[in-house]
Amino acid sequence: MSQLKTISILDNIPSSTQSKSKPEKLSYYTHRCRSNFPFAIPISKFSLSCILFLSLLLFYTFKSPSSPPRRSLAVDWGGAAWERRVRSSARVRSRPGHSVLVTGAAGFVGMHVSIALKRRGDGVLGLDNFNGYYDQTLKRARQGMLERTGVFVVEGDINDKELLKKLFDVVSFTHVLHLAAQAGVRYAIQNPSSYVHSNIAGFVNLLEVCKSANPQPAIVWASSSSVYGLNSKLPFSEKDRTDNPASLYAATKKAGEEIAHTYNHIYGLSITGLRFFTVYGPWGRPDMAYYFFTKDILNRRPITIFEAPGHGSVARDFTFIDDVVKGCIAALDTAKKSTGSGGKKKGPAQLRIYNLGNTSPVPVSDLVSILEKHLKVKAIRKVQPMPRNGDVRFTHANISLAQKELGYKPTTDLEAGLKKFVRWYLSYYPDAKKKSAWDFEVLDCIS
């Protein structure tokens, strides 16, 4: 599909060999909705789900959340100059095109998709609160990349309703790409309220503003493969049940899918959810295993590799960032218009959910071996039983539906993707290059 021909910010790196996968015949999404949404779940489980969901909301309402640290976001927006920057960034340069509000724009996926959209002529405005969940220096570097591409990133929070209203007053966005969220499975044990604050309350706040906008935008948002939870049937399909989450993070993403269904049904918002499967690549998140494994291997520190009961392997369906970008843009390009206006529904609206994975699960131990090869440094491995912290043993995406309806086709295997990541890592962290036995010129992926 022509809309998938995006420009990667890593143009100077050759593309990898293409992964092979055979589409599977699936029933139409309308028939699958019955298994994905609460009205198909036995009434007792549905009631329990409602109680748990309301409990989370009450918890958020009466207890101020302890979100990851971020600098004060006092009102520092507004004014004629600020509005001009907002309009200029969101202006469509090539027709036909979209005017897209990207939340979490300074995040890993947000930066890559924003740049790809901007380079093909779409209008893009970023929104990010630059919280301290991980290194803010990396987020600011991503912001610099965005600014050099012409994308203005408004510094603000999705829970700031007045800011969101102001943005929609200044720009009539055709689409919203909602990527802002509290990420990570294990961090939920340490700071559970931050997940309710961002992934539930923040999402509701954004949908409230979108449903009242005139015209209403089409919405594409990031769900997660984590919603499959304790499912043992492989590969994971969109028609599978998702009512057995293994972590609070997964539960909030599942809640997000139910909330999306509600706003679609009541207000006519066109909503597409994307279940990402372990996205990796240059400019990635430091809390991801491939990232901190690289750091620890170079520093000759032991890395912990978890194994399942009975010495079983733990595997992930690692998906390269460029493939995910193509999936996000395809979802935006095929999203139909919302059918409501000013908070009132005028007809049925599009509601979709897709897996975006690579369909080739790889054991984590193999990932480490690939990193050793590209870093030319031997890892100090420490194998331990998998703890009960919300992680699951494996993920494996069935992408037949995304292939059929989005033209989604991942082309980068883990070997090629990690090679690109390592090249970026050694370029972004100059001191790391000295610790590697790297024997060829590292490509400059920063400028």
Type of residue at 325: V
Give the chain's mean pLDDT: 85
Contacts of 286 (CB under 8 A, 6+ apart): 134, 135, 138, 292, 295
Rounded Cα distance, 54 and 272, in Å: 24
Rounded Cα distance, 331 and 3, in Å: 10
Pairing of strands 279-280, 344-345: unpaired
| pTM for the structure as a whole | 0.83
Query: Which is higher by pLDDT, 219 or 6?
Result: 219
CA distances from 161 to 209, 226, 318, 360 (A): 7, 28, 35, 41
Closest listed residue to residue 217, CA positions, set 276, 170, 268: 268
Q: What is the pLDDT of residues 320-373, one digit of tens each?
A: 999 999 999 999 999 999 999 888 999 999 999 999 999 999 999 999 999 999
Tokens of 410: 């991942």
Asked if 175 and 217 count as a contact pair (C-beta separation under 8 A), the reply is yes
Confidence of residue 6 (pLDDT cuts 50, 70, 90): very low
What is the residue whose two structure tokens read 């029933």? 27
Tokens of 123: 């209008």
Active site residues: 249
Average pLDDT over residues 134-147: 96
Average pLDDT over residues 121-131: 97
Phi, psi of 126 (to 5 degrees): -95, 155
SS3 220: strand
Rg (CA), the chain: 21
Q: What is the pLDDT of residues 409-418, one digit of tens each?
A: 999 999 999 9
Contacts of 253 (CB under 8 A, 6+ apart): 181, 199, 223, 224, 226, 227
SS3 431: helix
Average pLDDT over residues 179-194: 92
In this structure, how many other beta carbons lie within 10 angstroms of the beta carbon of residue 141?
A: 16
Rounded Cα distance, 387 and 295, in Å: 22
- Domains of the chain and any CATH numbers: 20-66+181-277+321-358+395-412 (3.40.50.720)
Asked if 238 and 228 count as a contact pair (C-beta separation under 8 A), the reply is no
